[in-house]
Amino acid sequence: LGSSSSVPFTSIFSQLFMTVVVPLIIGQIVRRYIKDWLERKKPPFGAISSCVLLMIIYTTFCDTFANPNIDLDKFSLIIIVLIIFTVQMSFMFLTFLFSTRNNSSFTPADTVAIVFCSTHKSLTLGIPMLKIVFAGYEHLSLISVPLLIYHPAQILLGSLLVPTIKSWMVSRQK
């Protein structure tokens, strides 16, 4: 294209490492020492996790759409939504096809796990990665729109497909 740029790879890698890997390692180490206490007290980690996820989604939506420089018309937003739904359905369909081939050793339960786990990506990891990789970029809000749509789309499609996939799994297990 006749243009070039430099990417601060070490800076991006170190920030991602500190944002993603270090908290994971610390959590695993701490868990080893307080596991018994956690099993006795049973803190509401599910509710805490849901609240943190909701907070991340909310703040990202606010940051994205509060930006006065975002130039996104309704038609473009609808096109993005349609593309994301199409991509998500295609990924789910392809993983379903590959996991149900004749020479596949996957059980129906394995297939369901493959379809949902392989195609679902988390907003909680994607947004920090975008903010690190595109730090200071004036169109960061615009870049985060597909991820903001993808996460709710995967939840919506998953919930809509559960009855169909459940009936398929039950019929295959009989």
- Residue-wise pLDDT tens digits, 109-134: 999 999 888 877 777 778 878 888 88
Dist CA 125 CA 173 (whole Å): 35
Dist CA 77 CA 68 (whole Å): 16
Dist CA 63 CA 137 (whole Å): 14
Q: Which pTM was predicted?
A: 0.67
Three-state secondary-structure class, residue 104: coil
Domains of the chain by residue range: 44-173
Q: Report long-range pairs for 6-15 (Cβ below 8 Å, ≥24 apart).
A: 12/132, 12/133, 15/132
The pLDDT, as a whole number, for residue 1 is: 60
Dist CA 73 CA 90 (whole Å): 26
Q: Residue 95: what are its φ and ψ, rounded to 5°? A: -65, -35
The pLDDT, as a whole number, for residue 86 is: 93
